[in-house]
Structure 1
Amino acid sequence: MTDSLGVAVIGAGMAGKAHAAAYRAASTVYRPTLPSIRLVSIADINTELGAETAARYGFERHDADWRAILDDDRINVVSVVVANFLHREIVEALLAAGKHVLCEKPLSDSIADARAMAQSARAASDRGVLARIGYSFRRAPGIAFIRELVQSGRLGEILHFSGRYWTDYACRPDAPMSWRYQGGPGSGALGDVGSHLSYVAEFISGDVIEVSGGRFHTSITERPKPLGAVVGHTRGNVSDETAPVENEDYAAFSARFAHGVGTLEVSRVAAGHPTSLMFEVFGSNGAARWDQRHPGEVQVIVHDDDDALTGYRTVQLGPAHPGFAGGWAMDAPGVGVGQNDLFVHQARAFLEEVAGIPESESLPRCATFDDGVHNMEFLAAVAESAAQGGATVTVKEH
C-alpha cells in the first residue's frame, strides 16, 4: 500500500465542496487505516470561489486551470465535479496522465461521449489507473439493508417498485439560466436526479429490461440570463433578458426489471421538496420503504408477523445494518446518516481501491464507467419513450 495519496477536486460548486469535504474526512471513518491523504488542489475557473473552497477545506492551493493538475506528480486522485458536457475532455486527459479519476454522475451529456470515456477507462485499467463514477446512495445503510431483504428472499417475490425524486431548486421562475437548463430532452430533471433514482431502482429490483409511458414536461419555459457566475442551485442577480429552457422540469415512466415492475417520477419544480428521494418495494411476503428525509430509519412489513401486529414497523438503523458500524465516531442506533456522510463513504471507498486495500476489507466499490454508460442508456430509453408518446423501449442488456 502506498504511503500517501495526493488529492485534487476539479469544480468548486456545491457538489465539488461535497467531494472536498469528503476527502478531508475519509481517513476518519472505517478501517483499515488509509495512507496519508494530502489535499493538494481545488481547480475552478471562478478564482474567488476556488480560492475560498481550497482555504475552507484545507487544500494547499487553488488552480484556475484544471490542466495544472495534469503534470503535478504529487496528485494521484482527482474528482471531476463540473458541468456534464465538460467531463470527457477532462477525464480522458487525467487518465492519460495516470491520475485515478472519480467522476460525478451522469458520466457525460451524450452517450457517444460516455462510451468513449468508458473505453478510455478500460485502457487506463490495463495500466493500473482507476476510473469510477459516484453513485453515493448505494452506500446508504437503509437502501443497502432493503437490498439485503430483497436478495435474501425475506420479502418474497418482488412485485413492484415505486420511486420518486422530487426537488424544488427550479421551482422559482427567477432562478437563472445555467447549464442545467440546457441540452436535449432527458438532460433536465431526468438526467440530474433521475440518474440517482434509476440506479437505486436497479440496485433494489435488478437490471431494467424495458421502459414505457415516458412523459416529459417543462413548466418554466424561459429563464433570466445571469449577471455573473451561477454556482450550484443558487439564485442571484439576473438580467431582463431571458433564454429558452431546453430540457424537462418533470419526468415519469414505468419500467420492467429483472424482479418486478415499477413506476418512477422525478421533478425539479416540486415546491417544498428541497431534495426528497423516496421509494417503496413490494414483495409477495412484505414490503419496505426508505425516505431521504428520514435516512436513519427504514420501514418494513412482513406477512409472517402476528396478524395483530400487521403493518409497517419503523426500524432505527444501527451497527446491525450494512455500512453503519465504524462509519462514524459515534455509530450507535439513532445517530442517523445524511447525504454528506454518503459523500465521505464514497470517497473512502474510492481511496481504499486506489490504495490497494482488498475488497474483502473495504466498503463496496464505486461503480465503473461501464455502469455509468448503462445508466445513460437507461435514461436514453426513457427519453425515446417520451418522444414516441409513451412507447415501450427495450434497454440494452447491462
Structure 2
Amino acid sequence: MRPRHHGRGILVPSSARLGRYAAARGRRGARRDPHRQGLVPGRLRGRPECRTVWRYSQGKAGPGALLDIGAHAIDALRFVAGDITEVSSAVLHTQFSERPVPAYGAIGHAASTSDVRGPVTNGDIALLSLRMTSGAVARADLSRIATGTPNSLGLELYDTEGHARFDSMASGEFHLYTFGAAPTAANGARRVIVGPEHPYFRDVAAMPWGGVGTGYAEAFTAEI
C-alpha cells in the first residue's frame, strides 16, 4: 500500500456500509486484518512554502496528524474491528520543523510570501500498529503532507473468506472479494455500486437510485 496523505476524513455512509459488509464477513473468517489510512486536502501541505496555521501548533491543535486525522481513521477501524486493545508500535514524525508565517490574516493552507518562519510543534505523519478486540491486527497510516492527494479516508479489511476495500474519494462504491464465489479464473474483487439497499442511502441521497452516490455533505446528514 503506497503511503498516502491522510486528511480530515469522516465516516461517510458508504464507509459505514462497507464496514457492515466486511464485519459480517469477518465473523465467518478466521481473522480480520484492517488497514486504515486517511488523507487531507494536501495540494500545498506537502510543500515547505505552505504557511503555518493553527493546525501546526501543539498548543492549539494537539499532536497534529495523530489527532486531527487519527480521530476519524481510528473511528473507522473500531467500527469494523472493535476497540483497540494494544498499540504495538507508533511512529510520529514532523517532516517540516518550520513554515513561513502568514504575511497577513490567513485562512486555509495556501503558500506564504513572508520571509519570517515559525515553528511546527506537532506531527505531520503518524504510523500505528494496533491489536483489536476482534483479534485483528491493524495498521493506521496518517499523513497530512502527501503531496497531490485529495482528502481521502480509506479502509481495507482482509480475512480468510475474502477482503473489502473502500476509499472516500469514490464514496459511491466499494470493492468486495469473496473466496470461492466463482471459478478461480473468473473470480476477483467486485465493484459494488451503492444504492437504496445499503444502510443510510435513502436517508441522505438526493435521489433514491443506485449510482447517484453520496459524499461528504451527505455524510454530515447521516451523522445527524
**TM-score bin (small chain):** 0.7 to 0.9
Alignment correspondent of 1:335? 212
Whether 2:154 is the aligned partner of 1:278: answer: yes
Q: CA-to-partner distance for each residue in 1:182-207, whole Å, 9 max, x for gaps?
A: 10796111111121101111111100
Question: Offset of 1:210 from its aligned partner?
Answer: 0.8
Task: Please say if 1:182 is aligned against 2:57.
Answer: yes
Asked whether the equivalents of residues 34 and 155 of structure 2 are also in contact (C-alpha less than 8 Å), the reply is yes
What aligned pairs does 1:114-125 form with structure 2 within 5 A after superposition?
none
| Contact 1:218 1:249 (8 Å CA) reproduced | yes
Of 230, 240, 255, the match for 2:115: 240
Give 2:4's aligned residue: none
Q: 2 CA distance for matches of 1:303 and 1:310?
A: 8
Q: Residue 16 of structure 2 aligns with which residue? A: 144
Q: Deviations over 1:50-106 (max 9, x none)?
A: xxxxxxxxxxxxxxxxxxxxxxxxxxxxxxxxxxxxxxxxxxxxxxxxxxxxxxxx9
Q: Equivalents in 2 of 1:329, 1:338: separation in Å?
A: 11
**Is the aligned partner of 1:314 residue 2:186?**
no
8 Å contact 2:90–2:129 — kept in the other structure?
Answer: yes
Equivalent-residue separation in structure 2 for 1:159 and 1:136 (angstroms): 22
SS of the counterpart of 1:265?
Answer: strand
After superposition, the Cα gap between the structure-2 partners of 1:162 and 1:237, relative to the gap in structure 1 and judged at 3 Å, is closer
Whole-angstrom distance in 1 between the partners of 2:187 and 2:133? 28
Which one of the candidate residues 24, 31, 50 is aligned to 1:158?
31
| Matching residue of 2:3 | none
Q: Is the 8 A contact 1:158 1:205 kept in 2?
A: no
One-letter code of the match for 1:244? P
Quote the offset at 1:328 in angstroms: 2.7
Calculate percent identity across the aligned residue pairs.
Answer: 32
Aligned residue pairs total 211
Where structure 1 has 5 or more consecutive residues not aligned to the other structure, the ranges are 1-105, 107-134, 350-398
Partner Cα distance (2:152, 2:23) in 1? 25
The 4+ residue runs of structure 1 with deviation greater than 6 A are none
Q: Measured at CA, do residues 200 and 161 of structure 1 come closer, stay the same or move farther in structure 2, by a change above 3 Å?
A: same
By how many angstroms is 1:224 displaced? Answer: 1.2
Question: Conserved in 2, the CA contact under 8 Å of 1:299 and 1:314?
Answer: yes
Q: 2:179 aligns with which of 303, 306, 310?
A: 303
Q: CA deviation at 1:236?
A: 5.5
Structure 2 CA distance for aligned equivalents of residues 157 and 212 of structure 1: 21
| Structure 2 residue ranges without an equivalent (≥5) | 1-7
| CA shift in 2, pair 1:186/1:212, >3 Å | farther
Alignment of 1:258-297 (within 5 A): 258-259=133-134, 260-297=136-173
The C-alpha deviation readout for 1:147-183, integer Å capped at 9, x for no partner, is 2224434662433111211332521212222110010
Higher relative contact order (CA 8 A, sep 6+): 2
- In 1, distance between residues paired with 2:212 and 2:94? 39
Q: Residue 75 of structure 2 aligns with which residue? A: 199
CA RMSD of aligned residues (A): 2.2
SS in 2 for 1:293: helix
Counterpart CA distance in 2 for 1:331 and 1:229 is: 43
In the aligned structure 2, how far is the partner of 1:234 from the partner of 1:288? 33
CA contact (8 A) 1:286 1:303 kept: yes
Tell me which moved more, 181-190 or 140-149.
181-190
Of 121, 124, 127, 1:249 maps to: 124
Contact 2:204 2:221 in 1 (8 A): no
Which structure has the bigger radius of gyration? 1
| Counterpart Cα distance in 1 of 2:67 and 2:159 | 29
* TM-score, length basis structure 2: 0.85
Secondary structure, in 3 states, of the residue corresponding to 1:325? helix
